[in-house]
Amino acid sequence: MADQNQNNLAIVTTREQPAIPIEQDNSNLLQTDFPDDFIFGSGERSCCSRWKRAEYWDDFTMRTPSRIDDGSNVVVAGDMYNRYKEDIRAMKAMGFEAYRFSIPWPRILPDGRPSAGINRKGIEYYNEVIDTVIAYGMKPFVTLFHWDLPDILQKEYHGLLSRKIVDDFKEYVELCFWEFGDRVKDWTTLSEPWTITTFGYVDGTFPPSKASCPPEVAAAKLPAHESARSTDTAASVPITRSYSDVKYDINLLLCHATIVNIYRTKFQEFQKGQIRIVLNSHWAVPLDKNSPDDVAAVRRAVDFMLGWYLFKSCLVWSLPTKYDRFCSSRKSCTFNFSLQESEMLKGSLDFLGINYYMTYYAKNDTTPEGVGYHADMRVEFSNIDQSGLNIAPWGIYQKLVYIKNTYPNIPPIIITENGVADQNDPKLTAKQACVDPVRVKYHQDHLANILKAIKKNFYEYDTCSQDKVDVKGYFVWSWCDNFEWAQGYTLRFGINYVDFTKNQTRYPKNSAVWFAKFLRDEKEKTMGPPSNKRSIEENSENVPEKRLKAT
């Protein structure tokens, strides 16, 4: 049944009039078009197994290579481990102001807990990475959990399914605050809890592969994270458990709330940093804009990806009726938080990180199959274009408007990931693969739509103007090609090409060239290109000599 109060929803129910016409040329967009305090950065996830015990992705790729599209693993990946200095130097030369990266839990605590031993070599390595970022005049944005659970904890008590994960995660993160918090001022507790829980515990295509949904349902009805998933891969996943005992999403939110509480009570006052969660969500538009049921399906689709986590983190700002809406639409799960835990979750965001990639059509599903997540959502998804990339720059505008108007007192937003993938083509030379016009236009058009949300925020079918959306930053995903989870190395997201057959050599793609012009144009006209060497020397007095090794 359609929401009777649908006029109050921040859902744009049309696809004929996108926020910015697709034929508009945004190639002349400049960094100076954005507010002075808007920050531009690039991001990458650490994916190398060196200097750490296994995380469960290591075990997953090495033990079951058939579950990865190309049978690959994460042993070397993009090799940021060895190439961080040249990469950070190149980021600075292009004009980026921040670098977003993760610190894998097993690199700091190989066996998951301080009592089992602290890897001082790993701590020193990340001290050098952080100091190099700062020496180049950039800001480190550090993610504490990007799906790299120590495999030993998965084997000991099933990882996210146990409340024990909260205490162990707390010990790891508190150690990071002590070791790195004097320089790191931007922390992310969790990156994309929806992705790791839904793919890991519902359809089973990610580790720990505890599927609770028929794989053919998962493959057919759930949109992929960043690209189309292989249905063959999904179909090979056995159903290992019933849905009714799933507690992973609650335990992850408790990890987030606990860490924010620790940071605010013990560290924030003297370290002067900020802390956030990063949430991902596709956008959706109704397959039939004149169907109230399809309009309602759009809202459910967004709630099941974004709202399920954002609502719980923003309880203090939400209307009481939202609780009833969530309970009625996702009946197989309950909140199961104590009063103290709920209080910790309220307002547990200094900033909100949002990852956006694509938009789908959504249709009301009157006959959902199975039980659990997919059946409760009652939504059928379909592509908005024949390519399957589902590129819709106007979707990021509509999504930002939706967040602002659904959660009116939401803290400032940073777009922490935005990008598009190419299928890897081994027949192309590196020079040929660096010609990426789709990616260039993708970033141009998404930036233009973000700028629109910052400058004006209104509904096309509403006479009432709304407040502007407070967006403070944009991070390109990703800096360079890397291991892409269940797709292995079959996809390339980077603005820099990585030759995985020749020592992970980097080559800037056309998208990197465009970003260099976009970010440096005005400064080069007035100041000239900066010297990387001079930048290091000028900042050297602020960095401990034993740590500063960048040259």
Q: Give the C-alpha separation, 547 to 221, whole Å.
A: 50
pLDDT in tens, 349-385: 999 999 999 999 999 999 887 777 888 899 999 999 8
What span, in angstroms and rounded, lies between the C-alpha atoms of 123 and 103? Answer: 9
**β-sheet bridge partners, residue 499:** 505
Tokens of 503: 């020592």
| 286 three-class SS | strand
Give dist(CA 297, CA 223) in Å, integer. Answer: 14
In the predicted model, is pLDDT for residue 19 greater than 80? no
Q: What is the CATH number of domain 31-523?
A: 3.20.20.80
CB environment 127-152: b (16+ within 10 A), e (fewer): bbbbbbbbbbebbbbbbbbbbbbbbb
Q: Of 127, 180, 137, whose CA–CA distance to 41 is shortest?
A: 137
Domain boundaries, the chain: 31-523
Contact 52, 105 (CB under 8 A): no
Query: How far apart, in whole angstroms, are the C-alpha atoms of residue 161 and residue 201?
Result: 9
pLDDT of residue 517: 95
Per annotation, catalytic residue among 156, 417, 484, 538 = 417
By CB atoms closer than 10 A (0-12, 13-18, 19+), residue 49 is buried
Q: Which range (325-334, 373-382, 436-445) has the least confidence?
A: 325-334
pTM, two decimals, is 0.85
pLDDT of res. 330: 44
Encoded tokens for 114: 């301080």
Strands (E), 11-124: 39-43, 98-102
pLDDT above 50 (res 288) = yes
Mean pLDDT of the chain: 81
| 541: annotated active-site residue | no
- Tens digit of each residue's pLDDT (9 = 90 or more) over 103-146: 999 999 999 999 999 999 999 999 999 999 999 999 999 999 99
User: Which residues lie closer than 8 Å to 381 by C-beta, 6 or more apart?
Assistant: 221, 222, 223, 284, 301, 360, 361, 362, 363
For 67-80, the pLDDT digits (tens) are 888 888 776 677 88
